[in-house]
Amino acid sequence: MIPYELEDWNYEVIKKLIESNFFETNKFDFKEDIPKEIEKTVCAFANTEGGFLIFGIKDDRELSFTERIIGIDPKRDFPREFGDKIRDKIDPPVYFEFKNPPIKIPNSTKVIHVIKIPQSPERPHMVVHDRRFYYRTNKGNDVMTRNQIKDTFLGWELRRQKLRLLFIELLSNKKQIESMIIPENKIKEVYSLVTLDSSIIQTLLVETYPIIMLENELIKLLLTIREEIKIINNKIKIFYSQVALPLTNKEEIVKSHNEFINQKVKTLAQLIDRALEILQKKYNMVNPFK
């Protein structure tokens, strides 16, 4: 009954939740407006499994449905207000998304705002003013214990380690593909049968997804790199079967193959360079070979 995606929230969903007297859970919270210390709830959602904040709803279960739906003035730049409210109050900062446009209330000029706080790859987050780490339960926000904080930091370090391994694997692939390029003056004579391993990138992509899930460009780059490696490997296998045969036009086959591989590895090198650039800028990855 509780939507898992931002776009699935609508007036009918909210109406059903209220009319069925559904208790707020670790997944969503009704708010009349942006309250004081909203950063605690934002921090708790980000540190746990993520959740939704629904603004414009009175949090009083004794009121009727129509009394609880009070809405927000549509003239307000609500997402900006929300962002300003939590800015510099959570360390590290928490990413959020908002439903755009907001949900219209029938027979009213006001709207309902829905904000999504995803589970954060940078968890644990701390509320700055009280230096506490919060997590979300069915009862609301609670303070994390020392062991919970320690375990979350260990998980963060493990995720960072996987990210470093991905960075090193991309560097290794970059170095390997550079050795595959055949110079123009030897394009009919020599060839490389080196193949690339895409399985490590595939495994690390899955394992690092909780960290990079908000970086759409990086995810697309890694998926493209994986597919380009497969194309190169398949081409090399086909070529190997060709040169093993006693053919008279081997020079042309070698030339055609080398031209294809040269172009592919240059494209692949550009993709890897861009992925490495994002990892360096966004996650402070450092080249250990320099």
Compute the distance between CA of residue 101 and CA of residue 261 in angstroms, rounded to an integer: 48
What is the pLDDT, as a whole number, of residue 260?
94
Q: What percent of the chain has pLDDT over 70?
A: 99
Whether the per-residue pLDDT at 289 is higher than 90: the answer is: no
Pairing mode, if any, of strands 103-104 and 140-143?
Answer: unpaired
pLDDT digits (tens, 9 = 90+) for 103-159: 999 999 999 999 999 999 889 999 999 999 999 998 899 999 999 999 999 888 888
C-beta separation of 192 from 179 below 8 A: yes
Average pLDDT, the chain: 92
Q: Which two tokens stand for residue 181?
A: 């390029």
What is the pLDDT, as a whole number, of residue 247?
66
Q: How confident is the model at residue 84 (pLDDT cuts 50, 70, 90)?
A: very high
Side chain identity at residue 14, one-letter code: I
Whether the per-residue pLDDT at 183 is higher than 70: the answer is: yes
Whether the per-residue pLDDT at 28 is higher than 80: the answer is: yes
C-beta separation of 149 from 135 below 8 A: no
Average pLDDT over residues 177-206: 89
Q: What percent of the chain has pLDDT over 90?
A: 71
Whether the per-residue pLDDT at 282 is higher than 90: the answer is: no
What is the SS3 assignment for the chain?
CCCCCHHHCCHHHHHHHHHCCCCCCCCEEEECCCCCCHHHHHHHHHHCCCEEEEECECCCCCCCHHHHECCECCCCCHHHHHHHHHCCCEECCCCCEECCCCEECCCCCCEEEEEEECCCCCCCCEECCCCECEEEECCEEEECCHHHHHHHHHHHHHHHHHHHHHHHHHHHHHHHHHCCCCCHHHCCCCCCCCCCCCHHHHHHHHHHHHHHCCCHHHHHHHHHHHHHHHHHHHHHHHHHHHHCCCCCCHHHHHHHHHHHHHHHHHHHHHHHHHHHHHHHHHHCCCCCCC
What is the pLDDT, as a whole number, of residue 193?
82
Rounded to two decimals, what is the model's pTM?
0.75
pLDDT digits (tens, 9 = 90+) for 208-247: 988 888 789 999 999 999 999 999 999 999 988 887 777 6
Rg (CA), the chain: 26
Q: How confident is the model at residue 23 (pLDDT cuts 50, 70, 90)?
A: confident
Q: How confident is the model at residue 54 (pLDDT cuts 50, 70, 90)?
A: very high
Q: Which two tokens stand for residue 162?
A: 């996987």
Surface-to-core class of residue 213, CB atoms within 10 Å of its CB (0-12 exposed, 13-18 middle, 19+ buried): middle
Residues with Cβ within 8 Å of residue 39, at least 6 apart in sequence: 85, 86, 89, 90, 127, 128
pLDDT digits (tens, 9 = 90+) for 137-152: 988 999 999 999 999 9
Average pLDDT over residues 23-31: 86
What is the pLDDT, as a whole number, of residue 194?
84
Compute the distance between CA of residue 278 and CA of residue 290 in angstroms, rounded to an integer: 18
Surface-to-core class of residue 27, CB atoms within 10 Å of its CB (0-12 exposed, 13-18 middle, 19+ buried): middle
What is the pLDDT, as a whole number, of residue 74?
96
What is the pLDDT, as a whole number, of residue 209?
87
Measured between its terminal Cα atoms, the distance across the chain in Å is 53
What is the pLDDT, as a whole number, of residue 29?
93
Whether the per-residue pLDDT at 65 is higher than 70: the answer is: yes
CATH number corresponding to 6-144? 3.30.950.30
Whether the per-residue pLDDT at 82 is higher than 90: the answer is: yes
Side chain identity at residue 244, one-letter code: A
Compute the distance between CA of residue 264 and CA of residue 281 in angstroms, rounded to an integer: 26
Side chain identity at residue 214, one-letter code: L
- Each domain of the chain, given as residue ranges in start order, spans 6-144, 157-283
What is the pLDDT, as a whole number, of residue 218?
95
